[in-house]
Structure 1
């Protein structure tokens, strides 16, 4: 009797377990092949850092992207545009007391989210006014700006004006105005480049009286060193191009006989190079794993950090090396800033799915070299972000 009861209880237990398993298979969903959510590709953004020539970020600078679209820089000189669509844009950076700078940006339609970059280093709007007369000579001088720590690159620009050198029709005090010039392109928006040469330093001569002319040449001197002075070529911007102009050398100074109110510069063959590499972007969280979770998971955004701008070594050993450092800063940007970014995701992950985000940033090794001297730096470029979702049957892959 006891054995019969025990055998009956055992059979009931087996039947109960069987019914329980059958019940589970009927009620529970299959999470092995859940369709992962689709993450919309985020719109492109544009960022960069606007600095003075000394490398310090300019707070409150205005950056224009095409017509009617502008952004203001933060305390570090960083600006941000959202939702930048494919196309070609004219850019302009401007700030109080600074000379504006323009550029062109072409955004390709690559079907991936990109954080694009444009930087600018703005020169101070410095002018030296020198009163001139018919009876006595006069002179005036200005110094060029440099990156902090690169003071060796400073160049004194001196104008010596003979008595009666200026002829003006208008009445009143006549003044010659001297302004530093840092890039040959700054003379006009589309100034012709001087073949393969680069302007190391320049100056603009003008007059406070419209239509004034020079009866006698102004001696416009640039303080270099004896070695470099003999290697550069003096040029004047005239009729839409840079042309050779007469000059002489005295104690390391290059002196141009300026016969017109115009822009003048000292040019040298400089070779610029850029070599691209990539660096992995660091995300605060890069994976959301709900493969074996118990409920849906909401994913809103992914925070990350990256760099914008350019890092340049200022350890110059000569006048030329220091000037090459300045050329890199003027061309690519004068400093680099670490920036916090946020990539919008806005999806719900069902149980049985996972999401991963990754990104890379372009890094360009840049250099400028001439006459056996060189300067180098790192320019931080575009950030490209990719988001991948998957389920239990496929837990990898990419866009």
Structure 2
């Protein structure tokens, strides 16, 4: 009798437990079809690296985008947050350097973009020569180059004849010589040609005077020391009435000589072809996935760090004056130094149980080159970073942002 009662009680317990489990199962929510949250598209940013012409980063440089400014850090990197779609004037400035100006267009792509604009700033270099009424005056000025690209350094010899400028008694008059690195002398901004063989300033110098409203009564001799290959193929030009025009020159050994008869800019030009080939590479994130498909409670996701590159890496070494000068043009157009930058992408989302989140990104990577007279130099330019965040549930449906 005792065994029978005991057995009955056990069966009753098992039945009750089964019913209780069935009741709990009926009350559990269905996590398979939980609606994944939508991750908001983060605001566009703009970054880049500011260097001098040697490729060294400039700390404390001021970058102006439209009406707002940012400063570069010790690595030469600056950052603008929340850049809206539109076309902006952009300018980089630093103490003792020539400013560089340009224009950048931000499109509304529906995706989060970290855009890139780099600048290499030349030293505001000036050599002053006192003009004599009785003796010839001379001076030399050397152009700046990337570190290790010494063959691109051009010595500009200046010879000012006696009485080149009429001066009053006891009046000190000085001629000022400054190297220039761009065909647009008003903003010193290298503009990459979109046409094959566009005439590009290889090297130049400007002449000015410390006295206004004076003219040259005798020409000043400007001698650009290059090499025979360059000297035989360049075209000498003068900046006049807002444009570059051909001017008479002569070759003396490896030197191209221009008789400058006005206070303006003079330079040696060569047809250079620039090319750009598009590619991309994967961006590295601190964490790529947040999985709450089978968690016990909501999961909060704030932001995630990632790294990317900015700048340009010049792969070619200068083995002649021409290739060295082409390297300088490539660096002035796209940048000369590659920096690794740490970014932070805001996710700011709550993942309910039954959902998950992944994040990925790509950075545009362009092969860039400059060619002239059968010689080519090349490099890699790192551009815009695009980030995509995707959420999904156990059925793998969900929202994706750009």
TM-score range for the pair, normalised by the shorter chain length: over 0.9
Query: Secondary structure at the residue paired with 1:266?
Result: strand
SS of 1:152 mapped into structure 2: helix
Unaligned runs of 5+ in 2: none
CA distance in 2, matches of 1:324, 1:252: 18
Q: Distance in 2 between matches of 1:170 and 1:193?
A: 48
Q: What is residue 258 of structure 2 aligned with on the other side?
A: 256
RMSD of equivalent CA atoms: 2.0
Q: Pick closer, same or farther for the CA change 1:47–1:349 going to 2, 3 Å.
A: same
- Name the residue aligned to 1:85: 84
Which whole-Å CA distance do the structure 1 matches of 2:300 and 2:209 have between them? 66
62 and 278 in structure 1: CA distance in 2 versus 1, 3 angstrom threshold: same
Give the Cα separation in 1 of the matches to 2:84 and 2:200: 34
Q: How far, CA to CA, are the matches of 1:225 and 1:232 in structure 2?
A: 11
The alpha-carbon deviation at position 172 of structure 1 amounts to 1.9
Q: Deviations over 1:79-112 (max 9, x none)?
A: 0000000011111110001011111011001111
Instruction: Specify whether residues 395 and 324 from structure 1 end up closer, same or farther in structure 2 by C-alpha distance, changes over 3 A only.
Output: same
Contact 2:314 2:379 in 1 (8 A): yes
Q: How do 1:133-282 and structure 2 match up within 5 A?
A: 133-167=132-166, 172-188=171-187, 196-282=198-284
TM-score by length of 2: 0.95
1:75 maps to: 74
Aligned to 2:321: 319
Distance verdict in 2 for CA 1:296–1:192, change over 3 Å? closer
Q: Cα distance, 1:265 vs. partner?
A: 0.8
List, as ranges, runs of 4+ consecutive aligned residues in structure 1 with deviation greater than 4 Å: 1-7, 168-171, 188-195, 395-399
For 1:35 and 1:397, the matched residues in 2 are separated by 9
2: CA distance, partners of 1:78 / 1:148: 19
Greater shift in the superposed pair: 309-318 or 186-195: 186-195
1:189 positional shift: 7.4
Shift of 1:169: 7.0
What do the CA deviations read for 1:110-169 (whole angstroms, capped 9, x no partner)?
A: 111100111100000000001111111111110000000111110001111111112357
Q: How does 1:283-298 map to 2 (within 5 A)?
A: 283-298=285-300
Q: Is the 8 A contact 1:310 1:335 kept in 2?
A: yes
Whether 1:29 aligns to 2:33 is no
Check if 1:377 corresponds to 2:379: yes
Q: TM-score, normalised by structure 1?
A: 0.95
CA contact (8 A) 2:182 2:188 kept: no
What CA deviation, in whole Å up to 9, does each residue of 1:183-231 have, x standing for no partner? 1123357999998211100110111110111111111110000111000
Could you list the runs of 5+ residues in structure 1 that have no partner in the other structure?
Answer: none
Distance 1:257 1:319 in 2: 23
Could you tell me whether the CA contact under 8 Å between 1:354 and 1:395 is conserved in 2? no
Between the aligned partners of 1:75 and 1:191, the Cα distance in structure 2 is 25
Residue 54 (structure 1) aligns with: 54
The structure-2 alpha-carbon separation of the partners of 1:350 and 1:190, relative to structure 1 and needing over 3 Å to count, comes to closer
Give, in angstroms, the shift of residue 8 of structure 1.
2.6
Counterpart-to-counterpart distance in 2, 1:212 and 1:34? 81
CA distance in 1: counterparts of 2:186 and 2:222, whole angstroms: 18
Cα gap change, 1:193 to 1:24, in 2 (>3 Å): closer
In structure 2, C-alpha distance between the alignment counterparts of 1:314 and 1:393, rounded to whole Å: 51
C-alpha contact 1:169 1:212 (8 A) present in aligned 2: no
Residues 1:16 and 2:30 are matched in the alignment? no
Q: CA distance change for structure 1 residues 153 and 185 in 2, over 3 Å: closer, same or farther?
A: same
* Deviations, residues 22-63 of structure 1 (Å, cap 9, x unaligned): 221233222111111111111000000000000000000000
> Any idea what SS the aligned residue of 2:184 has?
helix
- Supply the distance in 2 between the matched residues of 1:111 and 1:190 (Cα, whole angstroms): 31
Question: What number of residue pairs does the alignment pair up?
Answer: 398
